[in-house]
Amino acid sequence: MKKEDKGCCTIPSLKEVYQAYFPIGAAIEVVNVERYSDLLKKHFNAMTLENSLKWPNIHPGKDDYRFEPADRLVDFAMSHGMRIHGHTLVWYAMGTPEWVYYAEDGAMASRELLLERMQEHIHTVVGRYKGKVAAWDVVNEAIENTDNGRQYHDGEYLQIIGPDYIKKAFQFAHEADPDALLFYNEYQIEFSIKRGKTLRMLKEFREEGIPIHGIGIQSHETLDVPSLGELRDAIETFAALGLKIHISELDLSVYPYRDTTCLYKGLTPELLERQAVRYGELFKVFREYRDVIYGVTFWGAADDHTWLDHGIRRTWPFLFDDDLKPKPAFWSVAQF
Ligand code: XIL
């Protein structure tokens, strides 16, 4: 087939091209389901819920659960044969509303109370989607990112419960759905210091028999980093522990984070080409490791919706453009 856009119906389907390799996923918000419907049905056989399962959205108040957006996404994914990935149960950042950390009298929650709340939350959410959500990002981003000697990010979970909050979360999720695959999800673990810290934690989990089946390498990429060598090292390091590897939040910004020159330079043909080359290289590595790769999931589907864009800042990180048409990067992923 010629490398040109013949419209959504005649171009190759990514999920078919990758059938013998791994599922191709997209992180989706309920507001985009209709607009992306044809694109999703044609190219994607896995879905992560971008925000609808996060604690503040699904469980904003103590006795207040709001399942509707997640239910709709789960129904859509199920009716189109997409494997569903649950993101995420415990996360210090945008993952936990303030009330969770405080007792009824306004004092800081005790270890027992916070554990009890975590367990209730995990049992309720995982229990509701049991048999539908195949795998969960049980804990997100718990490792300290800066090189300050600390192993764990210093937040309320760590302060109130201690580092075993991570293990407890996996145990609670396993209790709620013994058949679900459980993942630890993290960013920038291609880089050696953070990779080492993460490895130390996961080795301990393995030795202690904590129920964990995989690791999500988020993969928010730029045109230059991480190197392919770093990516390979990360895949091999975690696969050696017997963990499945989920490329869990792939996007490839053509401008690095905080680079505002995008505002006047825009998306040039040169950048489109460099993005295509880099996407081609990344997928070549993913294909090489297909035996251990659980799936490759983009953190979105098309350039018109990405968490990387703020206001008028644009990053154009995906294979499909604002009109859902394939970009040069699509072809280097779909044809090899
Ligand atoms: C982001 C969503 O894409 C945004 O819509 C939301 O406002 C904030 O969270 N790492 C993660 C994801 O694990 O949950 C984040 O998703 C992106 C970074």
> Are the CB atoms for 254 and 267 separated by under 8 Å?
yes
The H-assigned helical ranges of the chain are: 14-17, 33-43, 55-58, 68-79, 111-128, 156-160, 165-176, 192-208, 228-239, 262-265, 269-288, 328-334
Closest atom, ligand 1, to C-alpha of 187: 10
pLDDT tens readout for residues 200-235: 999 999 999 999 999 999 999 999 999 999 999 999
Nearest CA to ligand 1 atom 4: 307
- Report residue 27: phi and psi, to 5°: -90, 130
Query: Atom 16, ligand 1: which residue's CA is nearest?
Result: 50
Residues involved in catalysis: 141, 249
Q: Is the pTM of this model over 0.95?
A: yes
Q: What is the distance in A from the centroid of ligand 1 to the CA of 316?
A: 16
pLDDT (tens digit, 9 = 90+) per residue, 7-37?
455 899 999 999 999 999 999 999 999 999 9
Residue 56: pLDDT above 90?
yes
Q: What is the predicted pLDDT for the residue at 313?
A: 87
Indicate if the pLDDT at residue 128 is higher than 90.
Answer: yes
Report CA(296)–ligand 1 centroid distance (Å).
17
Is residue 226 reached through a cis peptide bond, with omega within 30 degrees of 0 on the bond before it?
yes
Ligand 1 pocket test target in 90, 185, 188, 299 with most atoms within 8 Å of CB: 299
Confidence of residue 258 (pLDDT cuts 50, 70, 90): confident
The finding on whether 51 has its CB within 6 A of some atom of ligand 1 is: yes
